[in-house]
Amino acid sequence: TIKEAYQSHKLLLEPHGAVGWAGLKSFWQAHPETRSMLTFSVETAHPAKFPEEIRTLLQFEPEIPAALEGLDEKEEFLQELDATYEAFHAFLKRF
């Protein structure tokens, strides 16, 4: 999916976003009437977080944006949430 999206559309996906893109394509196949509707898939990260995967599939490393420089040196932040819209919305409002 990453390779196909890049070759067909010059769209550089990261692995999680590629799953969403594949799901959207599957949805279009199951519901061809939606092809004329505005649809989208969401990326959860930047492709630069996955340089090995991108290099393996596309033979180049994605450019690291300034916002990600030094990311691998930062402490990881994990937050468990209830699987509800309300919990997710409250979490997002904190930022």
Predicted local confidence at residue 72, as pLDDT? 81
Whose tokens are 């468990």? That residue is: 80
Is-contact 62 47, C-beta < 8 A?
Answer: yes
Q: Report whether pLDDT(51) > 90.
A: yes
Distance CA 45, CA 23 (A): 17
The residue with greater pLDDT, 71 or 1, is: 1
- Residue 22: pLDDT band (50, 70, 90) is very high
Given this model, what pLDDT does residue 95 score? Answer: 84
The domain spans of the chain are: 2-68
Q: What is the mean pLDDT of the chain?
A: 93
pLDDT of amino acid 58: 98
Q: State residue 15's pLDDT score.
A: 96
Residue type, 2: I
What pLDDT is recorded for position 42? 86
- Per DSSP, 69 falls in state T
Q: Give the number of residues written for the chain.
A: 95
Can you tell me the distance from the alpha carbon of 95 to that of 87, in angstroms, rounded to the nearest whole number? Answer: 14
Question: pTM higher than 0.75, yes or no?
Answer: no
Report DSSP state, residue 94: T
CB atoms within 10 A of CB 3: 14
Q: What is the pLDDT of residues 58-95, one digit of tens each?
A: 999 999 999 888 888 889 889 999 999 999 999 999 98
